[in-house]
Chain A
Amino acid sequence: DAKTTQPNSMESNEEEPVHLPCNHSTISGTDYIHWYRQLPSQGPEYVIHGLTSNVNNRMASLAIAEDRKSSTLILHRATLRDAAVYYCILRGSMDSNYQLIWGAGTKLIIKP
């Protein structure tokens, strides 16, 4: 079965870039990679998603390895408000029964 693997936690200084890795070596060709984050005492919220090419939006960037077996979520200038648990997710197609695989999440700690 497909799975995603993330570090338990990471620390970063405020105003510096953060690179959050995710390993998904069993990804299938049609699986999309999604990232969500969960702020303390809240439900998760969408961050970004991609298939093969790198993606940018106002919140973050997503860098996807050429073989698609790993990806990295990039926060360009982390602020204290970015302290959260970040989840890497695989979303499958009808071919894989629309499987939805959530990683265990990385707790991002931002130091002022």
Chain B
Amino acid sequence: DSGVTQTPKHLITATGQRVTLRCSPRSGDLSVYWYQQSLDQGLQFLIQYYNGEERAKGNILERFSAQQFPDLHSELNLSSLELGDSALYFCASSVGGGQFTDTQYFGPGTRLTVL
């Protein structure tokens, strides 16, 4: 158990809908990262937040957005969902803001299925 929690574990929805994925970082960690992993693919880095502010941006679509709240939990919002958005979404946390040696601790993931 990494200490990072993600809810829900599974989510099934329809095309065109909007969903929110939630992540709670390890106690004391200030950064939250979001990743997308499509079936049998590698991880795609989406975005990182550090202490409430956006720190680094990857291949995040405009239909996706994220935020980190004062209690440091984070939410990833996915809108106008398409079949291709079906994937496993991982959240990770780290102590610092992206310093070179920061270790990321990953949650168990949320599996999103878009029908």
Contacts and interface: CB of A to CB of B under 8 A. Distances in A.
A99 B33 CA distance: 12
Nearest to B58: A100
B109 A43 contact: yes
Interface in A84-112: 85, 87, 91, 93, 97-105
Nearest to B37: A38
A88 to B, nearest CB: 11
Interface stretch (B12-20, B68-76, B78-86, B95-103): B95-103
A98 B43 contact: no
Interface residues of A, number: 24
Given A97-B56, A98-B48, A100-B58, A46 B42 contact: no
B90 A99 contact: no
Contact of B101 (A36, A42, A49): A49
Interface string A59-71: 0000000000000
A51 interface: yes
B100 A87 contact: no
Contacts of B43: 38, 44, 87, 102, 105
Which range contains the number of B residues in contact with the other chain? 20 to 34
Contacts of B92: 43-44
A46 B104 contact: yes
Contacts of A93: 100
Contacts of A100: 33, 45, 48, 56, 58, 98
A99 B102 CA distance: 13
B55 interface: yes
B25 interface: no
Given A98-B48, A98-B98, 7 more contacts: A30-B100, A32-B100, A43-B90, A45-B2, A46-B105, A91-B98, A104-B42
Interface of B: 2, 33, 41-45, 48, 55-58, 90, 92, 97-98, 100-109
Interface of A: 30, 32, 36, 38, 42-46, 49, 51, 85, 87, 91, 93, 97-105
